[in-house]
Amino acid sequence: MELIRTVNLSKVYRTEDIETIALSGINLTIKEGEFVAIMGPSGCGKTTFLNLIGMLDKPSKGKYFFLSEDVCKFNEKSRSLLRKENLGFIFQDYNLIRELNVFDNVWLPLQYVKMNGASKRDRVRKVLHQLEISSRSSHFPNQLSGGQQQRVAIARALVCGPRLIIADEPTGNLDSVNSTLVMEIIEEIHKTGKTIIIVTHSDTIAGYADRIISLKDGSVVNQT
Ligand SMILES: Nc1ncnc2c1ncn2[C@@H]1O[C@H](COP(=O)(O)OP(=O)(O)OP(=O)(O)O)[C@@H](O)[C@H]1O
Ligand SMILES: [Mg+2]
């Protein structure tokens, strides 16, 4: 089943004195259950593409279909609902909230989900167990290693049961041992049927994917 389709997807950033064409005319289809890596030099538009796919930003031109719905036509509220129900994000710098402990960081996306408190806490415990980070539940982010922080961030991305995981250089700040660990976790998540889109600069990391999409200057230059 088709999860994502972009038609001539384009993004232009305009500041006072400069116009940057970050993406120009991307046509891609990603099926449910695929594991896709996006590669390309710095500034080629990878993060911009993820932001559009993740409905965090709108294209300047072109269309974006998520589950066959033309999501650009949705208002902010519907987009945000769609995002919360279907997407999980993982970032290079983990983006955990410093003031919250591990448990509360992972609990946060469940805040507005209609479910009773006990079931929510149960969900959190389950993903923390899955990510083998239960013993750190009451630690704060600054009391964790980078690899542990990224595992917490992955738990947070999974807690609402998303279909699609979007990861922007998730191993960019990790050493090779922790990178491998995180990629093995992402591979396991993929095996549970989730779609994965990952941006990376590393051929080793891209090797985990079924398909590699290479961007250059905002366009797709190669697909394998
Ligand atoms: N908010 C913004 N305002 C203006 N220009 C922007 C903005 N965000 C990105 N750009 C520009 O758009 C282009 C694409 O940026 P993007 O962040 O998507 O690149 P990237 O491929 O993710 O690079 P990297 O590998 O360094 O993360 C760059 O030239 C960048 O300077
Ligand atoms: Mg980027």
Closest CA to 121 of 159, 89, 85, 87: 159
The pLDDT confidence band at residue 52, using thresholds 50, 70 and 90, is very high
pLDDT, residue 129, reads 95
The rounded Å distance from CA 206 to ligand 1 centre is 21
Mutation choice for ligand 1 from 15, 46, 214, CB with most ligand atoms inside 8 A: 46
Q: Annotate 140-150 with b (16+ C-beta within 10 A) or e (fewer).
A: bbeebeebbbb
Structure token digits, residue 150: 């990224």
Query: Over 90: is that where the pLDDT of 222 sits?
Result: no
Provide the 3-class DSSP secondary structure of residue 114: coil
Q: What's the predicted TM-score (pTM) here?
A: 0.94
Nearest ligand to the CA atom of 21: 1
Ligand having the closest approach to the CA of 167: 2
CA distance 124 to 106: 6
Residue 78, phi then psi, degrees to nearest 5: -70, -40
Closest residue to atom 29 of ligand 1, CA basis: 43
Q: Where are the domains of the chain?
A: 2-223
- pLDDT > 70: what percent of the chain? 100
Confidence of residue 210 (pLDDT cuts 50, 70, 90): very high
Token representation of residue 12? 């232009």
Residue 6 — φ and ψ, nearest 5°?
-115, 140
Task: Supply the pLDDT for residue 184.
Answer: 94
> Topology of domain 2-223, per CATH?
Rossmann fold (3.40.50)
pLDDT above 90: residue 116: yes
Centroid of ligand 1 to alpha carbon of 140 (angstroms): 31
| Bridge partners (DSSP) listed for residue 15 | none
